[in-house]
Structure 1
């Protein structure tokens, strides 16, 4: 079994792959439209004012911690 952890548990600067998004229909659709899909590359850039700064497929986003906890990743 491949280990997966919530996105906020990832160390800053680490690359990983998104395994799944554990969210309700509306949030899952919103994240999918932003590029947060299984097998997408993601990097945790840092944390600023309680938001996580991430890079997904070349695009930079700021996510609230609650939203980020729903994104399960597989560390490289």
Structure 2
């Protein structure tokens, strides 16, 4: 298991765990980051990432991305 920020660009990956405080987890769940879901890393700049999740592109910061374990 590793944080989303360490994943390879372009490969579909499965989310294994979403960490953080309750409100952080709820926020990420509302964006589509749920355990067992599949995301694809599109690009990464300075730890900030853009991912495809549920047919949408979502940009999240490094702190949030480090809470998503894949």
Q: TM-score, normalised by structure 2?
A: 0.91
Q: Which runs of 4+ in 1 moved over 3 A?
A: none
Count of residues paired in the alignment? 70
What stretches of structure 1 of length at least 5 have no aligned partner? none
Per-residue CA deviation, residues 26-53 of structure 1 (Å, 9 max, x unaligned), is 1100111111001111000002465200
What stretches of structure 2 of length at least 5 have no aligned partner? none
Question: Is 2:59 the partner of 1:62?
Answer: yes
Match of 1:24 in 2: 21
| Larger Rg computed on CA atoms | 1
Query: Is the strand fraction higher in 1 or 2?
Result: 1
